[in-house]
C-alpha cells in the first residue's frame, strides 16, 4: 500500500472502545457521539522501525506507524483526527479514507492534511538517515512546504500557518473590495489588501 516496503506491513484493528477508555475525559456526551458518527474503523497498517527497514531510531522517534482511518462522512471534525494521532504516544502518519478517496494527515504541533486523491496517486516516501529525519520528511510531504534555511521544522510550520491565515485574509478582503460601492471605503480596503500581500511576500 502506498509503495511502502512489504517488511513494514502489519494489520491490527484498533477498536473504538479502546479509544473511549483512553480518552474518557475528552470523549464524553456529544463529542463521543460525533466521534462514532464520523469514524467507521481504525487499523494500523504499517510499522516503520529499525526492525522493518533498518533505519536507526532516535531518542525522539523509536517507530512510526501508519494508521488507516475509515470515515463515515467526508466533512469530518479535525479534532477527532487529532485525537487518533495521539492514541499510542508514538509518531503516526494517518491515512484517511472516505469511499474510494484517500488523504494523508499528520500531527506536528498542529494537524496537517493533504488533498483527497485516488489510492494510486498517493506515494509515501521514506527518506532520511534516521527515524527522526524520516518523520520530518513525512511532515514536509503532507504539509507540502520546504524548510527554509535557518528554520527548524516547528518554526517553518508556524510560518506556513501564518501564511495560510494571510491568504485567507487576502481572499476575504478581495471579496469585500468587489462588493464595496463607495470609492473612499474601496480605497481603504485596497490599501489594507496591499499591506496583506506585502506581508505575505516578506514571509
Whether the Cβ atoms of residue 8 and residue 50 lie closer than 8 Å to each other: no
Mean pLDDT of 20-38: 90
The model's confidence at residue 57, banded by pLDDT at 50, 70 and 90, is: very high
What cell was used for 178?
Answer: 468587489
Check residue 25 and report its DSSP letter. Answer: T
Mean predicted confidence (pLDDT) in 11-32: 89
Confidence label for 45 from pLDDT (cuts 50, 70 and 90): very high
Distance, CA of 83 to CA of 10 (rounded, Å): 22
Measured CA angle at 44 (ends 39, 50), to 5 deg = 150
* CA dist., res. 125 & res. 133, Å (int): 12
Say if residue 69 is exposed, middle or buried (CB neighbours under 10 Å; 0-12, 13-18, 19+).
Answer: buried
pLDDT for position 167: 85
Distance, CA of 23 to CA of 84 (rounded, Å): 10
Q: For the residues 90-100, what does the mean pLDDT come to?
A: 95
> Among all chains, which residue has been given the C-alpha cell 516516501?
125
Q: What angle in degrees, to the nearest 10, is found between the helix axes of 153-179 and 131-143?
A: 10
Whether the per-residue pLDDT at 181 is higher than 90: the answer is no
Cell triple for 61: 522517534
pLDDT at residue 86, as a whole number: 85
**Per-residue confidence (pLDDT) for residue 193, from 0 to 100:** 81
Amino acid at each position: 500500500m502506498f509503495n511502502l516496503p512489504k517488511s513494514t506491513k502489519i494489520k491490527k484493528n484498533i477498536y473504538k472502545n479502546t479509544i473511549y477508555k483512553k480518552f474518557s475525559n475528552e470523549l464524553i456526551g456529544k463529542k463521543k457521539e460525533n466521534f462514532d458518527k464520523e469514524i467507521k474503523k481504525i487499523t494500523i497498517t504499517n510499522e516503520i522501525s529499525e526492525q522493518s527497514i533498518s533505519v536507526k531510531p532516535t531518542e525522539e522517534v523509536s517507530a512510526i506507524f501508519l494508521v488507516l482511518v475509515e470515515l463515515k462522512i467526508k466533512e469530518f471534525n479535525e479534532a477527532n483526527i487529532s485525537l487518533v494521532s495521539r492514541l499510542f504516544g508514538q509518531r503516526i502518519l494517518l491515512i484517511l479514507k472516505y469511499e474510494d478517496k484517500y488523504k494523508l494527515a499528520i500531527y506536528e504541533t498542529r494537524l496537517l492534511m493533504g488533498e483527497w486523491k485516488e489510492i494510486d496517486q498517493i506515494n509515501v516516501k521514506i527518506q532520511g538517515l534516521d527515524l527522526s529525519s524520516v518523520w520530518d520528511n513525512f511532515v514536509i510531504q503532507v504539509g507540502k512546504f520546504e524548510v527554509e534555511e535557518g528554520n527548524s521544522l516547528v518554526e517553518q510550520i508556524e510560518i506556513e500557518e501564518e501564511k495560510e491565515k494571510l491568504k485567507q485574509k487576502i481572499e476575504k478582503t478581495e471579496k469585500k473590495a468587489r462588493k464595496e460601492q463607495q470609492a473612499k471605503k474601496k480605497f481603504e480596503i485596497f490599501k489594507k489588501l496591499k499591506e496583506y500581500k506585502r506581508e505575505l511576500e516578506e514571509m
